[in-house]
Amino acid sequence: MKVTVFVTPKKTVLDPQGAAVGHAMEHLNVKPSSDVRVGKTIEFELEGSDTPELRAQLEKICDGLLSNPVIEDYRYELA
């Protein structure tokens, strides 16, 4: 089963990396009409099917390893 985890900065948190990308875009004559948000994607495969146990394990690594719950949100897709 393919797992894709999307980690993004919380809306309430300043995203300096996003601000820098936004400024750089303007130098290329592309003016974003909103803040730019830069996040991470983590892709991997897991043995087994979509069970509550597997989701619990996945949430454990999302919370404890793949994201910083203080400043980031995450969601995941199973395929």
* DSSP state, residue 69: T
Q: Which is nearer to its own copies, 12 or 45 (CB)?
A: 45
Q: Is 57 in the site for its own copies (CB under 8 A)?
A: yes
Residue 54: what are its φ and ψ, rounded to 5°?
A: -65, -40
Q: Is 23 in the site for its own copies (CB under 8 A)?
A: no
Which residue in the set 14, 16, 24, 55 belongs to the binding site for its own copies (CB under 8 A)? 24
In whole angstroms, how close is the CB of 36 to its own copies at the nearest point?
4
Query: For residue 9, with 0-12 CB atoms within 10 Å meaning exposed, 13-18 middle and 19 or more buried, which class applies?
Result: buried
